[in-house]
Chain A
Amino acid sequence: MKRLLLTAASLIAAPLSAETIAITGGTVAIGDGSQPIGGGTVVIANGRIVSAGAGVAVPAGARVIDATGKWVSPGIVAGVSTLGLMEGYGMDEVNDTTASKSPFSAAIDVSTAINPTGQRVATERSSGITRAFVIPAAGNTMFGGQGAVIDLGADVDPVTKARAFQYVELGEDGASAGGGSRPAAYVLLKTALAAAANPASADFAHKDALITRQDAEALGPVVRGAMPLLVHVERAADIRAVLALKAQYPAIRLVLVGATEGWMIADQIAAARVPVIAAGLLDLPEKFETMAATQSNVGRLTRAGVTVAVSNADISEGPYESYLTQYAGNLVALTKLPGAQGLDWGQALASITSKPAAAIGMDREIGSLRSGRRADVVIWDGDPLELASAPTAIFIDGIAQPMTSRQTRLRDRYLDPVEKNLPKAYER
């Protein structure tokens, strides 16, 4: 009930558009795992999806957008992102992702710092990304803090849901942030959860207290199951240890992030009904804990019945949210590779739309074109998973978004690089 209220509150804060829009004639991909529908229609009203699919009637008075020859999909949902929290790496002055000098960890709430006007928000939006899970990195402990779900709209109100989940590093990174070893990190995690479950038992005032009152309070919703706990973990043995947490805290809503060796224990993850936000294409033993990395991880987990979302984390320099469609397309390519396990097209699109939403319990709100969802809709000039495709129109909460960014401005200035009668600084 409390969650419902929160959702309603954030709805009121979101910019609403009363405009009724019907996007007709395009290949419609719902994003729920189903296959695309030729010649479909998507109807938007009051910032929400009214209906989408074949044989959908165009309401009287609707603005009709002809998408014949194009594709229509839900906006892409980035499952692991720093959008709005940092402008770029190597620019510490504009990096709010981590706080190793803070006394706080789990209590940190990133929603207070999201900057919707950073360059990356508009750039990634123009690639069809409409929502992102903004995740703080581990700081003074393995807890990163409370992440937010944001939209990438060109407005001043980016936060879809504040305090949407708690984030914790286990495995190798957790060992480092949690005191120096995996077992040390587990002791700290269990101590923190115990304090959260029963704050009266904890002595926060003691000089050796391992957790502050504020951090324990922030973890309260986690142990009660009101807030998902995203746990970054890679090695199969570490995943087993995380799943065991449910024995002590049955209400806890675990989500595995990474889970590169998840395929080795796919049945156990499926049986525990724990969703996974995976990196997607990692196939190198870049760490000892990802020794069994394979691009078939997502396909095998999905086949085992696990809800798997694909993120862009840990795959390349960026990481850029714009790569998500490329990764999803690659998972389809695997279906043609002997011995490999990939995703069919519908599953692949779902892995970057409704599946990440489902992983944190928000798939009734975002991530697909099913009725009632927020109208995050992208019209593409081709198959959205193809490398050559790009959005031609983007709607967030039913509102048409600008298609320009700093990148398009630079492109226009330098299409002809030669300086003319005035310096380039006068061309705009």
Chain B
Amino acid sequence: MVFNNKLKFCMATALALSACTGGAAPKSASSDSPPPGKGKGFNHDPFPSTYRAYPGVPTAIVHATVYDGEGGRIDDGTVLIADGKVVGVGGADLAVPAGATVIDGKGKWVTPGIIDVHSHLGDYPSPQVKALSDGNEATAPVTAQVWAEHSVWPQDPGFSRALANGGVTTLQILPGSANLFGGRSVTLKNVYARTVQGMKFPGAPYGLKMACGENPKRVYGAKNREPSTRMGNIAVDRQTWMKAIEYKRKWDKYEEKGGDIPSRDVAMDTLMGVLNGEILVHNHCYRADEMGIVLDMAKEFGYHVTAFHHAVEAYKIADLLKANGSCAVVWADWYGFKMESYDGIPENLAILQRAGACAMIHSDDQNGIQRLNQEVAKALASGRRAGIDISDEQAWTWLAINPARALGVADRTGSLKPGKMGDVVLWNGNPFSVYTRPEKVWVDGAMLYDANNPRLRPVSDFELGQPGEGDVK
């Protein structure tokens, strides 16, 4: 009951605020409240980001091989970082500003920070004890009301490994796949903070995690309730979207014309966000046939699937994905670990790329996230052996601009372009070689990892005072 009272209080506050700023809208017949305006009926950002960039120094990395993350490559290149941003990318002739710290990148590579669009760090942290298992609200097939950020433990040691070994600077934390509607995702900068708000990528749109196939039907089938089959999955999906459309209709009416304030529903808020295009759909879906059904369902209810995750059969429908503008988010070579992954092949990414579909890598794994560059290297090599010619710099889009687009943050990160966040990795060799590791990692222009400086290696609260603390990991 306490929670309900709190909710009412927040609503009243939000309403009062919007009423103050709503202007002179005409009053409706049934209420004194003026219409608040489209999308302003309630606060859409109640847990706002408090992330702040840490200070950096003007830096010039010179004589390095540069992959810009959008398919461009510069040999003997220069990358300039200042005031938290990338301020210049060019060849050896690009002038280095006076006073900048100069780093010799000869024999090394510079890339944008890696973006993992599918992680459960913080929600399924290390150590994996039940007390910290907060990734699946597996109590009902529709839990669109849960938000992954409310489970993220910012002390997960996994964040540091993803930074130091993987060069990961941005990551999306998703709720798990037990449910058809798993809840909201959150996009984080890979910078430790005391609160999850302190890690939230400022202004990143939310995602909605959905799931096809085996997981929901297994979890709820085992509980002898709907859904227990794939057809049950889609039936519950459609019923839920119908409710969401009704919910949206009420709120649209109220926000445009005023009148009685509709009842809030935290789950429906999220689905309405999807229907309004504010929240991006990230749909766990392995099989080609199931993706085909979901694409039709999206048309039926008027939403867009931003990306299919774990799409091991995406290669079978690369043309269909391209035609619908939906991305495929895949592993390099995982296969056969469950029936719906039985047809996984390592050429998946390359076939998608050749077909012109949007494709990218993901980890879904606290170990895999440390080697996403290596996963892309394997996928690229498999494609080349199959006769698909993709350049190294083009393949880096699978780690950078493509996931940035899928997260709706491509205007701010995901490539080395002037004005973008200073999210940069200096690799000690070719990042598609197994013998290469990140040497330095900057996030928003601040150097937050340096292989040569043990002080620039984060140690989470959990690891402090434990065996192995401060060890090279």
Contacts and interface: CB of A to CB of B under 8 A. Distances in A.
A139 interface: no
Interface string A33-67: 00000000000000000000000000000000000
Nearest to B467: A292
A174 to B, nearest CB: 17
A387 B374 CA distance: 7
A293 interface: yes
A283 B371 CA distance: 13
Nearest to A410: B345
A89 to B, nearest CB: 5
Scoring A296, A317, A386 by chain B CB atoms within 10 A of each residue's CB, the highest score goes to A317
Interface stretch (A7-15, A192-200, A334-342): A334-342
Interface in B337-363: 337-339, 341-347, 351, 355
Contact of A417 (B315, B370, B436): B315
A407 B346 contact: yes
A330 B367 CA distance: 13
A346 interface: no
Interface residues of A, number: 56
Scoring A285, A317, A318 by chain B CB atoms within 10 A of each residue's CB, the highest score goes to A285
Contacts of B129: 287-288
Contact of A387 (B158, B218, B367, B433): B433
B349 to A, nearest CB: 12
Decide if the interface of chain A is mainly helix, strand, loop or mixed: loop
A120 interface: yes
B317 interface: yes
A375 B365 CA distance: 37
A418 interface: yes
A286 interface: yes
A316 interface: yes
A265 B451 CA distance: 26
Nearest to B466: A291
A88 B161 CA distance: 28
Given A88-B337, A89-B337, A417-B351, A390 B385 contact: yes
B126 A286 contact: yes
A414 B377 contact: no
A22 to B, nearest CB: 26
A156 interface: no
Interface string A310-353: 00000111101010001001101110111110000000000000
Contacts of B384: 388
Contacts of A320: 333-334
Nearest to B314: A417
A294 B452 contact: no
Contact of A294 (B374, B454, B472): B472
B378 interface: yes
A388 B377 contact: yes
A287 B127 contact: yes
A287 to B, nearest CB: 6
B345 A291 contact: no
Contacts of B462: 285
A338 B439 CA distance: 10
Contacts of B237: none
B360 to A, nearest CB: 18
Contact of B377 (A296, A385, A387): A387
Contacts of A91: 338-339
A295 interface: yes
Interface in B431-473: 432-437, 451-452, 454, 462-463, 466-468, 471-473
A123 B471 contact: no
A387 B127 contact: no
B434 A386 contact: yes
Given A119-B336, A286-B366, A291-B468, A411 B386 contact: yes
Interface in A376-422: 385-390, 407, 410-411, 414-415, 417-418
A385 to B, nearest CB: 6
B319 A418 contact: yes
A344 to B, nearest CB: 12
Given A284-B158, A288-B127, A90 B432 contact: no
B128 A286 contact: yes
B318 A417 contact: yes
A281 interface: yes
B106 to A, nearest CB: 15
Contacts, number: 166
A87 interface: yes
Contact of A284 (B318, B355, B364, B367): B367
A169 interface: no
A387 B346 CA distance: 12
A415 B386 contact: yes
A109 interface: no
Interface in A236-295: 236, 261, 264, 281-288, 291-295
B365 A317 contact: yes
Interface string B47-66: 00000000000000000000
A320 B365 CA distance: 14
Contacts of A264: 467-468
B338 A90 contact: yes
B335 interface: yes
Contact of B338 (A88, A281, A387): A88
Contacts of A285: 126-127, 157, 462-463, 466, 468
A88 B472 contact: no
A283 B473 CA distance: 6
A294 B370 CA distance: 13
A316 B365 contact: yes
A110 to B, nearest CB: 19
A296 B471 contact: yes
Contact of A336 (B214, B336, B371, B428): B428
B316 interface: yes
B359 to A, nearest CB: 13
Contacts of B333: 320, 322
Given A292-B467, A332-B434, A387 B381 contact: yes
Given A284-B161, A316-B367, A317-B337, A333 B316 contact: no
Interface string B365-405: 11110110010011011101111100000000000000000
B119 interface: no
Contacts of A334: 437
B161 A90 contact: no
Contacts of A315: 367
B451 A337 contact: yes
B165 interface: yes
Contacts of B382: 390
A414 B351 contact: yes
8 contacts: A264-B467, A294-B468, A333-B435, A337-B472, A385-B434, A414-B316, A415-B347, A417-B315
Interface of B: 126-129, 157-158, 161, 165, 214, 218, 315-319, 333-339, 341-347, 351, 355, 364-368, 370-371, 374, 377-378, 380-382, 384-388, 428-429, 432-437, 451-452, 454, 462-463, 466-468, 471-473
Given A285-B127, A389-B381, 19 more contacts: A281-B370, A284-B473, A292-B471, A294-B471, A296-B471, A317-B368, A318-B337, A326-B374, A329-B434, A330-B434, A390-B381, A407-B345, A407-B346, A411-B386, A414-B315, A415-B347, A415-B387, A417-B317, A417-B351
